[in-house]
Amino acid sequence: MAAGLSRESQADTSKLMEEVLESENLKEALRRVKANAGAPGVDGMTVDRLADYLRENWPQLKEQLLSATYKPQPVRRVEIPKSGGGMRKLGIPTTVDRFVQQAMLQVLQERWDPTFSEHSYGFRPGRSAHQAVAKAQEYIQAGCNWVVDIDLEKFFDRVNHDVLMGRIAKRISDKRVLKLIRGFLNSGVLEDGLVSPTDEGTPQGGPLSPLLSNVLLDELDRELERRGHHFVRYADDCNIYLRSERAGQRVMESVKHFLSRKLKLKVNESKSAVARPEDRKFLGFSITSGNEVRRRIAPQALARFKDRIRELTRRTRGISIERMIEELRPYMVGWRNYFAFCQTPSILRALEGWLRRRLRCYIWKQWRRGKVRFEELRRRGIDIDFAATTAWSALGTWRLCHTKAVHRALSKAFFDSLSLPKLV
């Protein structure tokens, strides 16, 4: 945040609900909810029914919002696998609640985002994970070769509502908006047919939760700025960069105390550490220290990539190679768009080679018998003796698919012709 920029004041927020309900804001909220799609909530209403529902019921909904009598419905609990293992709990609001949250988000984010710290990168317009990683690399390049890697334990499930609402109340005077935000926080969770109350946490799955998390953790950012630390925060992932291990240990203890005392948050001891940057991962990357500071793909991210590719290229799938590549394409393109930010292209080239070898194994398995393999190799230009010794070889499939004959028959150009995405 630029020097001297003051926090959001309450002075011009007494009619905030009217801003939320302005026609253009509502149209944009409807457009975004429809674009984001998503599963239905506890009432079963799908996104494609939202516009018709609003046409019929908007006068009553608007009156409820203006009179502070609108009651959000419970969220529907779903679990999805975490990229690093385990399950992440999401709370899916009803479509109407998502629409109301989105309309609020658009007004509040425009007001609040300029007041957030320049060290905060998550869930903010015009900011990205790549920018956060690049800033971390700058600190390491400048000689901060130790990192205090802080992981907050079940952050989105453990947010203290009173602490959060206290921070929000400093920014908003419109009691209708304050009551509505509290209503979303306390709406309850439907799980296994039963509705449970929610007295802590901001359910992941609603449009408003990321902004609320930034409001709460802005307090941490201000404290770290006051202490003069070099740090980067992306959502609940915060890294502080220092010049010595001793300083790192001291900072870790003081930050844990601050989070516990001021924000009622707990640091996950097993996932937090004071270490060299290359020994930790930040947003999927690790950063080497020393003479040549470079961004690498973290080993955990590489392992997840290989696990997903193994799943998609199982030799027992029984589909054509063309269809398999079609199914690989969206995952590979998305992964490449993110991890091509690394500065180790040799790793990406090695992954490409490994993937092509997996696909060769799949095709070899499909050819099944020695006679078919011999004919396919010959058809692809392999001479008769070379084709024969390869087709009837006793080598295992993985080793065979690293031989010259199979490489030539199923070359890189062959996979290029099938539009297999590149990683480099």
| pLDDT, tens digit (0-9, with 9 covering 90-100), for 389-405 | 999 999 999 999 999 99
Distance between CA atoms of 101 and 30, rounded to whole angstroms?
Answer: 11
Structure tokens at 66: 């203006």
Long-range pairs, 53-61, Cβ under 8 A, ≥24:
53/95, 53/96, 54/30, 54/96, 54/99, 61/96, 61/100
Distance between CA atoms of 241 and 147, rounded to whole angstroms?
Answer: 5
Cβ–Cβ under 8 Å, residues 274 and 267: no
**pLDDT of res. 265:** 95
**pLDDT of res. 24:** 97
**pLDDT of res. 81:** 75
| CA 24 to each of CA 27, 30, 106, 361: distance values in angstroms, whole numbers, following the listed order | 5, 10, 11, 55
pTM of the predicted structure, to 2 decimals:
0.88
Cβ–Cβ under 8 Å, residues 131 and 110: no
**pLDDT of res. 4:** 37
Distance between CA atoms of 225 and 220, rounded to whole angstroms?
Answer: 9
**pLDDT of res. 67:** 96
**pLDDT of res. 78:** 83
Question: Which residues in the chain come in under a pLDDT of 50?
Answer: 1-6
Can you say whether residue 314 is alpha, beta or left, with left for phi > 0 and alpha for psi between -120 and 50 degrees? beta
Helix (H, G, I), strand (E, B) or coil at 141: helix
**pLDDT of res. 291:** 81
